[in-house]
Amino acid sequence: MEGLSRIADEIRPFFEPGSIAIVGASTNPAKPGYNVFLNLAENKRKGLLKAELYPVNPRAKEVLGFKCCPSLKDVPGLVELVVIVVPAKFVPDIMREAARKEARAAIVITSGFSEVGNYELEEEVVKIGRDAGIRILGPNCVGIFDPYTGVDTVFLPLKKALEAGEEMISAPKPPKGRISMITQSGAFGVASLDYMAGHGMGVSRFVSLGNKCDLDETDFLEFLKEDERTDVVLLYVEDIRDGRRFMEVARATARSKPVVVLKAGWSSAGARAVRSHTGAMAGSDEIYDAAFRQCGVLRARTMEEFFSMGKALSMQPTARGPRVAIITNAGGPGVMTVDACEAKGLVVPELSEATRTRLEELVREGKLPPFASIGNPIDLTVSVTDEMFKLATEVIMEDPGVDGLIVLGLHHPPGLKGDYIEAIAELARRSDKPVVACDIGGANMADYVRKKFDEKGIPAFESPEGAAAAMWALYAYGRYLEKVKQAP
């Protein structure tokens, strides 16, 4: 596709700039300009951020130990990336100064543009950038987070005390990973970083689009298509303005890496909320749905599905078909998982005669509980041990009538110590069938089990619905790749 190298060259300075100027860097911890610069300054001191760093503020001599420049023109040398955190009315003048410094990229954090009806001011900023060859992210955004290069303009503090005198509570950002996220909503984006950090999901690139006055989701998707650090793209959108170009880029991207989209504003009231949020027109949901299917984009309907699908696709192989086996130690949650799978369009088939025979032999040999349910789901009951989970998994993974496995191992039975996690992970590594796990609960033990599964490369979820959504994504993307392979 034409233009991929061009867009990669234009977007790379947002993630890998040689120099950064923060216009509006502040000494006041309550202001966004302080926290933006704090993020960058700390990453610079750690040696993670390689870019030269310049705070710009006419009323400060220094910010966090860095000498402050009164204006952009006082910054020594050229500036590749300009981060703007000043009131909207001053942004055009800052952009003109950026043009004189031959900047290549600008992140406009500032709000007060088209989202509140101030279209003329936004158009003025766009024209200045276009004439100078400066690509613009925003306005009304939180910008970029890249844990590999240290570029971090997400201005919400990592720690805060909720009440005076209380101990600081941390809100860490995700570690390095293989998932990139593009979001039209800055608030949802920040919440997503928090969620991903708490659920063991590593990030490669994060982009908050804001008003999309210049660069939009398609531009960044085009960049991520070529990005060697990105295996999966998560995309939150409220509207897509150039649908034809989006489909072209999304189709090309989906041939090499999965794209999961959460499209908000599909209801009539939601569409009205979108207009008040960003000034965007949400459009017909049926059209979006058809377009996503045509270009291989996987659509999530809920936030849980969105992250479950992305997590699974980043960790497990695709499924050859929709047939899912379920191994559990809890009858009720096992039935819930069957329902969740069938609701997503997956199949929970009867096990083959050979598989049932082998499982029944294990029962007779005393290697599985005498009251185990040898169906699908396979219920190992509260008498389960680590070895029983391993033996049942070995049998299921050899069944040619099973395309994927959900392990629903509730942590409560006394005979379950946790060794089964490594055993199942090892069996999964030897197979080309995907495995996902689920443990229901919010206490320390459930968190421990899910974390251990994640660490071993098995995506783990808090609910049957999350596990089913994950398995569906692995099946749906595998089906799309097979369709592409067979196309003339």
d(CA 267, CA 275): 12
User: How far is Cα of residue 109 from the mean position of the Cα atoms in its chain?
Assistant: 21
Q: pTM here?
A: 0.92
38 within 8 A of 27, measured Cβ to Cβ: no
Q: Burial of 25 by CB count in 10 Å (0-12 exposed, 13-18 middle, 19+ buried)?
A: buried
Q: What pLDDT is stored for residue 267 in this prediction? A: 54
Give residue-wise pLDDT tens across range 40-53. 999 999 999 999 99
Pairing of strands 81-84, 62-63: unpaired
Mean pLDDT score, 88-115: 97
421 within 8 A of 457, measured Cβ to Cβ: no
Could you say which DSSP state residue 350 is in?
P
Give residue-wise pLDDT tens across range 295-346. 999 999 999 999 999 999 999 999 999 999 999 999 999 999 999 999 999 9
Q: What pLDDT is stored for residue 277 in this prediction? A: 45
pLDDT at 30 over 50: yes
Confidence bin at 75 (pLDDT 50/70/90): very high
Confidence bin at 1 (pLDDT 50/70/90): very low
Q: What pLDDT is stored for residue 3 in this prediction? A: 46
Closest CA to 266 of 279, 250, 283, 278: 283
- Percent residues over pLDDT 70 in the chain: 92
For all residues of the chain together, what is the average pLDDT?
A: 92
Residue type at position 460: A
Count the neighbouring beta carbons within 10 Å of the beta carbon of residue 187.
12
Confidence bin at 120 (pLDDT 50/70/90): very high
Closest CA to 8 of 115, 97, 135, 118: 135
Q: What pLDDT is stored for residue 283 in this prediction? A: 59
Mean pLDDT score, 216-227: 97
End-to-end C-alpha distance for the chain, whole angstroms: 18
Mean pLDDT score, 20-25: 98
